[in-house]
Amino acid sequence: VFTMAQVIQEQGAESIEKRIGVDATGARFNSIIAIEAVRNVVGTGAPEMNALVNPGAISATSMVTGASADAVWAKIIGIHNDFAGRQLTVLQDVYKSESDSNQRNQAIGALMFAYGYIKTDWKQAVDLYTRQCSIGVNARDLATMAATLAARGKNPVTGKQVMDPAKVPSVLAVMATAGLYDDSGKWLYHTGLPAKSGVGGGIIAVSPGKFGIAVVSPPLDNAGNSVRAQKAIADISNALNGNPYAANAATR
């Protein structure tokens, strides 16, 4: 989410839409078949994916500008720090483990480069993506990050305007349509909340203008989303009238 936010902040919402796409894939988060399906149906390099599944997320990472890998990483970790309201660090043991076993993501990176989604060094993009996936956060960090999106890009803890308010809706829109992988439609149907899950068991959700919420609970369903986090967020949101589509949303 937040690397996509960095790209949108720097290059505008159309940059993600034109290079990667903003459509749900209807496939698992690490699907290679989804990449091939787009190519076969629409054409090579067609922007018919999104930046919240592995192929699109690796491509979004490649779009962050910088003269070197260190410069790109400084921007990526910087925006995560700003959203969380504190200095975050990479869990080196997780990063090493992921780097030693990310052959599928390497294949995805090479394929996305071959099909024109990645214009720079795909190996660097995969490495930086792996590093960002190894950033250590807790539930409070994630809730603060979600609350910053809910507050139109202003961190409610630090008071810093992290993102242009006019660009936040583009981030929330992709979260709404693709944030819970191939169960995104089901989630939106029941809660109305833009959200993003991670296969580590965390989910963040945003009720625009009201609150951000995060739950971490590792057991996952078949789509790769935390079972208990979905239930907890849905119940709390219902109690707080968080669904922006609900009839009473504007009056509470």
Tokens of 171: 């981030």
Please say whether the beta carbons of 217 and 229 come within 8 A.
Answer: yes
Tokens of 184: 């995104």
For residues 157 and 45, state if they share a domain.
no
Q: Considering 82, 103, 132, which residue would you say is the last residue of a domain?
A: 132
Number of structural domains the chain divides into: 2
Q: Report the percentage of the chain scoring pLDDT > 90.
A: 85
Quick check: is 248 in a domain? no
User: In this structure, how many other beta carbons lie within 10 angstroms of the beta carbon of residue 235?
Assistant: 11
For residues 65 and 166, state if they share a domain.
no
Quick check: is 247 in a domain? no
Burial per residue of 58-97, b for 16 or more beta-carbon CB atoms within 10 angstroms, e otherwise: bbbbbbbeeeeeeebbebbbebbbbbbbeebebeeebbee
- Domain holding 86, by residue range, is 2-132
Please say whether the beta carbons of 162 and 145 come within 8 A.
Answer: no
Side by side, which strands form the sheet with 195-197?
195-197, 202-207, 211-216
Q: What is the pLDDT of residues 114-159, one digit of tens each?
A: 998 999 999 999 999 999 999 999 999 999 999 999 999 999 999 9
Return all residues near 26 (Cβ < 8 A) that are at least 6 apart: 34, 182
Quick check: is 249 in a domain? no
For residues 177 and 203, state if they share a domain.
yes
Place of tokens 């971490």: 216
For residues 214 and 104, state if they share a domain.
no
Q: Which amino acid is at 176?
A: A
For the chain, which ranges sit under pLDDT 70? 40-45, 249-252
For residues 122 and 145, state if they share a domain.
no
Q: What is the pLDDT of residues 49-59, one digit of tens each?
A: 899 999 999 99
For residues 121 and 40, state if they share a domain.
yes
**Rg of the chain on CA atoms, in Å:** 17
pLDDT at 34: 85
For residues 114 and 225, state if they share a domain.
no
Q: Considering 111, 132, 153, which residue would you say is the last residue of a domain?
A: 132
pLDDT at 213: 98
For residues 95 and 194, state if they share a domain.
no
> What CATH number should be reported for the domain holding residue 15?
3.40.710.10
Task: Report residue 90: phi and psi, to 5°.
Answer: -85, 135
For residues 101 and 149, state if they share a domain.
no
Q: Considering 132, 149, 164, which residue would you say is the last residue of a domain?
A: 132
pLDDT at 37: 83
pLDDT at 61: 98
For residues 102 and 190, state if they share a domain.
no
Helix axes 168-178, 184-191, angle to 10 degrees: 110
For residues 231 and 115, state if they share a domain.
no
Please say whether the beta carbons of 224 and 232 come within 8 A.
Answer: no
For residues 113 and 160, state if they share a domain.
no
Q: What is the pLDDT of residues 156-171, one digit of tens each?
A: 999 999 999 999 999 9
Please say whether the beta carbons of 197 and 203 come within 8 A.
Answer: yes
